[in-house]
Amino acid sequence: MIPIEYYLWLSAVLFSIGVLGVLYRRNAIIIFMCIELMLNAVNLVMVAFSNYLNDAAGQIFVFFIMAVAAAEVAVGLAILIMTYRNTKSTDINILNRLKW
């Protein structure tokens, strides 16, 4: 019998590690991976509440989040390859031309 708040805390920790990675690193691929980590933290808490409330809708939402994450990763990595072709780097500090 696992209390549901344990899953909430674990998910909060994983989400914070994802935010830490986005703020900490400069490599765009690592930033993508940390976004995946945040999506998975949210998925975890959705499955926990789906089990707790005995409602299958939460697990269906997780299924759709996985589909959207797959599409997002494919498009994001394509953009990354395109920027690498132009700048020869995946450093996000090069891509600062949109800054005010």
Partner 1 sequence: MTLNLFYFLSFLAVLSALMVVFSKNPVYSVLYLIITFFAIAGHYVLMKAEFLAVVHLIVYAGAIMVLFLYVIMLLNLNKETEPHKNNILKFAATICSGLLLIVLIGSLKGTELLGKGHISPNSTIGNVKNLGKVLFTDFLLPFEIASILLLAAMVGVVMLAKSEKKININE
Residue numbers of the site for partner 1 (CB under 8 A)?
1-10, 12-21, 23-27, 29-30, 32-34, 36-37, 40, 43-44, 47-48, 50-52, 54-57, 59-60, 62-64, 66-75, 77-82, 84-85, 90-91, 93
Q: Give backbone dihedrals phi and psi of 38, rounded to 5 degrees, phi first.
A: -65, -40
In contact, 15 and 7? CB cutoff 8 Å: no
CB of 99 to partner 1, least distance (A): 15
Put residue 27 in one of left, alpha, beta given phi > 0 → left and psi -120 to 50 → alpha: beta
CB of 48 to partner 1, least distance (A): 6
From the centroid of its chain, how far is CA 61?
15
CB of 20 to partner 1, least distance (A): 4
